[in-house]
Structure formats: structure tokens, C-alpha cells
Amino acid sequence: MQLQAIKDITSLEDIKPLRGYKPLTIIKVSILNIPSTPELLLLSANLNYQAKRILDSEINCKRGLCVDSYIYKAIDIMKIVDDYQNKYISYKEMRMIKKQFGINGLYK
């Protein structure tokens, strides 16, 4: 699929709809077998969501954890995203975080 030249477009009707592009999915970004940036953003957002649910008394904390644990882990993951070229976590570590904080059910 090729992009249209901007100079030939005179109205919105001239723009062809984008077809053939896939949405963001869980795809390995390299041979290193590390999660992509959208996956890490999703994990961080889910940790923050769980913290909000705990504060709203919708769910209870997992044993040995508190709301701060969820928030600090989300911040740690965001720091990885900010410096993705130098810092990363493996899929194994990501699965351990999901299991530790009980957020596997949010991915269905």
C-alpha cells in the first residue's frame, strides 16, 4: 500500500480510506523476545486500573501487596517505556508481574 502525494489532494473526499493496515497487536518487535511498547503501556494501564478499583473498594489487594505496590510497579514499567532502547523486560518477567498482581483476567 502506498501513500498518496499531498499536493494532489484538494478536498477531504480525495483522501482514500486507510485499508490493509492492522491495528496494534501483540507482535514480537525483535529477535530478543521482549514485549513491545504498546504491551508495556497496556500492562501499566492495567496496574493503575487495578489500583483504582482497590481504592474504590471494588476488589481487594492480593496478599502481601497494597495500592502503592500497584502504582509503583506501573511507574517502573513507564520508566522502561521512556528508555526503551536501554531498558527492557522479557515476556517471562511480564507474565510474572501479571501473575503477582492478578491482572491476567483483564486481558481476555
pLDDT digits over 15-71, tens only? Answer: 666 566 555 555 555 566 788 888 899 999 999 999 999 999 888 888 889 999 999
Query: Chain centroid to CA 67: how far?
Result: 20
Rounded to two decimals, the pTM is 0.67
Q: How confident is the model at residue 73 (pLDDT cuts 50, 70, 90)?
A: very high
pLDDT value at residue 68: 92
Q: How many Cβ atoms sit within 10 Å of the Cβ of residue 51?
A: 21
DSSP conformational letter for 65 = -
Longest Cα pair distance anywhere in the chain, in angstroms? 61
Average pLDDT over every residue of 94-104: 89
Contacts for 58 with CB less than 8 Å, ≥ 6 apart? none
3-state SS, residue 59: coil
2 touches 56 (CB < 8 A): no
Residue pair 77/40 in contact (Cβ under 8 Å)? The answer is yes
Is residue 4 predicted with pLDDT exceeding 60? Answer: no
DSSP type of residue 8: G
The pLDDT of residue 64: 85
Q: What's the mean pLDDT in 69-82? A: 93
Q: Is 20 left (phi over 0), alpha (psi -120 to 50) or beta?
A: left
